[in-house]
Every structure is written in C-alpha cells, then in structure tokens.
Amino acid sequence: MGTAVDSVNKEANGSLSDEKKVKVVFVLGGPGSGKGTQCANIVEHFGFTHLSAGDLLRAEIKSGSENGTMIQNMIKEGKIVPSEVTIKLLQRAMQDSGNNKFLIDGFPRNEENRAAFENVTKISPEFVLFFDCPEEEMERRLLNRNQGREDDNIDTIRKRFKVFVESSIPVVEYYESKGKVKKIDAGKPREEVFEVVKSIFSAIDKAD
C-alpha cells in the first residue's frame, strides 16, 4: 500500500516552474486577521487564483479518495500531514487552474513547509503578504463573527494565536531577511486595508 505522498505524486507530475512564469504570493496572518476577505478582493481586482491549503486538504478528505482517507486518518491520529502531501495538492490545483498567478493562503505554516515548497516546486514566492493584526482585535473579530464555528471560543482562539506565533512568524522573519515581506496593518477597517493591498498589487501589475 502506497503512502499519501505516493498517491498524490501520481496525480501531480510536472513542474509548474517549467511553464510560463508562475507568480506565487504567500498570504499569512493570524486567525481573524482578515486574510480571507482581502484574498477575495485581490482575486476580483487582480485576477489571482486563491488557494487555501486547509481547504484543499478538506476537499481531498471529502472526495473519499484513497489519499483523502490517509489524510483523514493522519489528522485523527494527531499526526501532522507531511508537507509534500499538501504541496502536491497545491501543485495540482495550480496546474488545473489554467492561471499563472496564485495567492497561497495560510501556507507555509512553518519553516519545514517553506523549505519543502521551494524544494519541491522550485518556485520562490514573489513576496509574503503579512496581515499584522493585534491579538485583541483578532480575538474580538473571532468572537463576534456569526459563522458558528465551534473553534471560535476564547481558549481555542488563544491556542491558535500561540501556534501561529510559534510556527508562522519564523517564516515571516525568514522572508523579511530576504526583503520579501509586505506587512499590512490589518487592525484597520477592511476598506482601508484593501486600499493598501491594492497599491501593492497595482505596483506589481505595472512592473510586468
């Protein structure tokens, strides 16, 4: 019986970097920082394809594929899904999209993800869009939102903040050392935040 990595490998062969120039922007920010809202705006205004690593894993599980069952079992057992599995799902979604501009949301979650992504895809991100938001504001937003998500209680929220700081901030710092981080003050109202986001993406369009 093959591993989860093997079964995704069968479906995602070929390197995207061999084709037309692929642009990848990593989108990072704590829970409640407004990433999802702003990604939707960027897709609408700038023609990027929005890929969420978490959504792709959930979709794979829902599909009932052999690979999805393996992912589900790993999560149930409290194991971390290997970076390569998530990366192959991202690669497949990128190839299927027909686009060459991607927002990758909530990934890389840690340094190991980051190194594996660059190693497997041979793609280095254009930059990291980092939604920097005070914890008190993120907490307020998560407690106020009415999606009825069971993970939106105060203890779980604070655990998620802690994981984000410990795992994802080193990724931000790595790219900051390369001059590749665009930091956004995400504590402001969403319209103001998008004005800043828009100026960043308009500058890329002009550079092309």
Share of the chain above pLDDT 70, in %: 86
Residue 32, marked binder? yes
Output the CATH code of domain 14-207: 3.40.50.300
Q: How confident is the model at residue 166 (pLDDT cuts 50, 70, 90)?
A: confident
User: Do the annotations mark residue 37 as ligand-binding?
Assistant: yes
Is 140 annotated as belonging to a binding site? no
Asked if residue 82 belongs to a known ligand binding site, the reply is no
The answer on whether 30 is annotated among ligand-binding residues is no
145 is in an annotated binding site: yes
pLDDT at 5 over 70: no
Span 96-154, pLDDT tens digits:
999 999 999 989 989 999 999 999 999 999 999 999 998 889 888 888 875 555 555 77
pLDDT of 66 strictly over 80: yes
The average pLDDT across 60-79 equals 88
Is 35 annotated in a binding site? The answer is yes
φ/ψ of 199, rounded to 5, equals -65, -35
Tell me the pLDDT band of 156, cut-offs 50, 70 and 90.
confident
Instruction: Say whether 106 counts as a known binding-site residue.
Output: yes
